[in-house]
């Protein structure tokens, strides 16, 4: 992410700001701070595209009434924040309960978001700390952090650092519990329990070398 603007914004002011900006430039709101998102690398986009296709297929195969929108904003509770997850699984059945969806493509109910995925870039602290806390507090049932370049700290992904996928699920106590997957580890997803996919296959999406 690049530099932020100087003043703090409300969520409504953030939406007004977006209306004045070119569509090819993306921004997020972090506790009132508008942050411009850096253009993603090619490999990161391939991983996002790969996961979108795979999970979309699984939704069809399992007859889940879910979809993956191209652009949608996640608004966590009453916070002055708004995020654009790299992959967002949307529950069509709950859109009628989303007051801001019809006009502005904003999701604020955990029932609308079975799963979110963040593919880590240089702003890895946001994914591992800030978004982790906000998605947990919001009550999103499943959260993947796909750290394909092993950018997270050694405390988070181990030593030596290596590409890691961490999948968190919401416990009965309302707290995230996580498990890490590396190399040939088979992904274990509560939303997609039959998913036959290894961490390495995600990291090498589209045949790209790791």
pLDDT at 166: 98
| Residue 24 pLDDT level (bands cut at 50, 70, 90) | confident
Phi first, then psi: give them for residue 204, nearest 5 degrees. -100, 30
pLDDT at 28: 96
Which residue has better confidence, 141 or 43? 141
Could you tell me if residue 103 is inside a domain?
yes
Which pTM value belongs to this model?
A: 0.93
Domain containing 201 — which CATH number? 3.90.1570.10
Could you tell me if residue 136 is inside a domain?
yes
114: tokens are: 């079975």
| Strand, helix or coil for residue 58 | helix
Could you tell me if residue 30 is inside a domain?
no
**What is the torsional sign of CA 29, 77, 192, 166?**
positive
**Domain tally, the chain:** 1
* Other CB atoms within 10 Å distance of the CB of residue 84: 14
Task: Please give the full DSSP string across 154-193, using - where no structure is assigned.
Answer: HHHH-SS---EEEEEEE-TTS-EEEEEE-TTPBP--SS-T
Mean pLDDT of the chain: 93
Instruction: Check: CB of residue 98 under 8 Å from CB of residue 90.
Output: no
Q: Kindly state the average pLDDT of the residues 160-175.
A: 97
Could you tell me if residue 22 is inside a domain?
no
Please list the helix, strand and coil fractions of the chain in percent, rounded to the nearest 5, in that order.
35, 25, 45
Q: Kindly state the average pLDDT of the residues 182-187.
A: 96
Could you tell me if residue 4 is inside a domain?
no
Domain with 56, as residue range(s), is: 42-207
pLDDT at 2: 46
Could you tell me if residue 25 is inside a domain?
no
Phi first, then psi: give them for residue 52, nearest 5 degrees. -60, -45
Which of 83, 133, 91, 84 shows the shortest CA–CA distance to 109?
Answer: 91
Could you tell me if residue 21 is inside a domain?
no
Could you tell me if residue 112 is inside a domain?
yes
pLDDT at 65 over 70: yes
**Digit-coded pLDDT (tens) for 47-60:** 999 999 999 999 99
């Amino acid at each position: 992410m690049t530099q932020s603007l100087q003043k703090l914004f409300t969520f409504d002011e953030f939406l007004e700001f977006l209306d004045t900006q070119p569509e090819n430039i993306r921004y997020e709101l972090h506790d009132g701070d508008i942050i411009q998102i850096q253009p993603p690398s090619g490999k990161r986009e391939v991983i996002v595209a790969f996961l979108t296709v795979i999970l979309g297929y699984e939704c069809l195969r399992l007859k889940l009434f879910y979809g993956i929108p191209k652009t949608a904003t996640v608004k966590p509770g009453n916070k002055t924040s708004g995020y654009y997850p790299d992959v967002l699984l949307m529950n069509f059945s709950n859109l009628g309960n989303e007051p801001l969806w019809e006009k502005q493509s904003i999701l604020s109910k955990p029932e609308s978001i079975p799963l979110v995925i963040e593919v880590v870039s240089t702003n890895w602290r946001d994914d591992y700390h800030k978004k982790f806390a906000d998605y947990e507090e919001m009550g999103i049932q499943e959260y993947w952090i796909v750290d394909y370049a092993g950018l997270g700290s050694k405390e988070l992904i181990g030593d030596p650092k290596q590409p890691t996928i961490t999948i968190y699920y919401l416990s009965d106590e309302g707290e995230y519990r996580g498990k890490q997957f590396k190399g040939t580890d088979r992904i274990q997803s509560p939303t997609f329990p039959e998913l036959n996919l290894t961490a390495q296959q995600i990291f090498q999406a589209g045949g790209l070398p790791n």
